[in-house]
Amino acid sequence: MTTITTQHGAATASPSSAPANPPPVETTPLPAFDATDVSIYYTPAKAAVQNVDIQIPARSATAIIGPSGCGKSTFLRCLNRMHELVPGAKMTGTILLNGENLYGPKIDPTVVRRRVGMVFQKSNPFPTMSIKENVLVGLKLNGVRDRAFLQERLENSLQMAALWDEVKNDLDRPGVSLSGGQQQRLCIARAIAVQPEVLLMDEPASALDPIATAKIEDLIHQLKREYTIVIVTHNMQQATRVADQTAFFYLGKLIEFAPTRDLFNNPREKQTEAYITGRFG
Ligand SMILES: Nc1ncnc2c1ncn2[C@@H]1O[C@H](COP(=O)(O)OP(=O)(O)OP(=O)(O)O)[C@@H](O)[C@H]1O
Ligand SMILES: [Mg+2]
């Protein structure tokens, strides 16, 4: 049913003039993160990240690249308010997560960290916990007690992290007794067990051999069907393999953000070109 306005300005319905199939309304999907004018400081005098505007699409993988010290980890950490754990760290600007202000007065940072999971460069299983306990710790902290549910989530998370087959008969072994690559996949299983909306990964494969790295990259391809992934990497081949779009940071600024293929094949900015061709960094 369409609505027409009469000469007097009152709206009346006109069933007879309704088109049979109105054209679909074009809507732009909401980005997972919408950051505006974000600056991050460890000391008031100097911004580690300066005036970043970026819209990170949902259900895809976004890579952040750039030379050491350019602010990649700092920016990543402010996407789940992890930087607030550094005494004195401060952020200005706004970040929306699925349209909601991540830094709103009613938002609990611990809930944010549940919605936005993080995997670090160095794997960090809880040392006193078994493989199983490591995966389930977040759910148990959230009060989940249903054994069948926990068992199912344990298996699913380890399957998704491509670790299940290697550990299914050893679930009570300490998490730290696994190899480095297995520990990293255990940490990924732990991060996805609470079903976050977003997974942040800070150089998740930098300490891994090519086989373990390939497993993590396969996993990113699987996960991005359901999750939003943001991955910091020093490995530009890795960015081209896993990321739909890539952001290049330099000296705390976002220099360029583009579909990965465009950024590497046809960079718009001189600094991006210099970096990807190995002229600095
Ligand atoms: N906890 C901290 N306290 C004070 N300064 C910090 C802290 N963490 C990072 N910085 C500073 O902020 C800037 C950006 O650091 P950040 O760790 O974000 O860089 P990065 O791009 O991740 O580098 P890398 O590739 O080496 O990991 C650097 O100048 C760094 O010294
Ligand atoms: Mg870093």
50 lines ligand 1 (CB under 6 A): no
Which H/E stretch holds residue 239?
helix 236-242
Please state, in angstroms and rounded to a whole number, the distance separating the CA atoms of residues 136 and 132.
6
**Residue 73 scores a pLDDT above 80:** yes
**Residue 191 scores a pLDDT above 50:** yes
Whose Cα sits closest to atom 5 in ligand 1? 42
pLDDT tier for residue 25 given thresholds of 50, 70 and 90: low
Distance 203 CA to ligand 1 centre (A): 14
Tell me what pLDDT residue 6 has.
33
What's the farthest any 2 CA atoms get from each other in the chain?
79
Tell me what pLDDT residue 8 has.
37
Tell me what pLDDT residue 16 has.
46
Q: Which residue ranges make up each domain of the chain?
A: 29-123+197-276
pLDDT tier for residue 160 given thresholds of 50, 70 and 90: confident
Report DSSP letters for 176-200, one per residue: GGS-HHHHHHHHHHHHHHT--SEEE
Residues 123, 206 contacting (CB under 8 angstroms): no
122 lines ligand 1 (CB under 6 A): no
72 lines ligand 1 (CB under 6 A): yes
What is 29-123+197-276's CATH number? 3.40.50.300
Distance 81 CA to ligand 1 centre (A): 15
Beta strands in 61-178 (DSSP E): 61-65, 90-97, 100-101, 116-119
Please state, in angstroms and rounded to a whole number, the distance separating the CA atoms of residues 36 and 164.
40
pTM of the model: 0.87
Tell me what pLDDT residue 1 has.
35
- Nearest CA-CA partner of 235 in 281, 179, 183: 281
* pLDDT > 90: percent of the chain: 77
42 lines ligand 1 (CB under 6 A): yes
238 lines ligand 1 (CB under 6 A): no
What one-character DSSP code corresponds to residue 104?
A: -
**Residue 248 scores a pLDDT above 70:** yes
Whose Cα sits closest to atom 31 in ligand 1? 69
Distance 85 CA to ligand 1 centre (A): 14
Q: For 76-114, write each residue's pLDDT tens digit.
A: 999 999 999 999 999 999 999 999 999 999 999 988 988
Out of 73, 250, 253, give the residue to mutate to test ligand 1, the one with the largest number of ligand atoms within 8 Å of its CB: 73
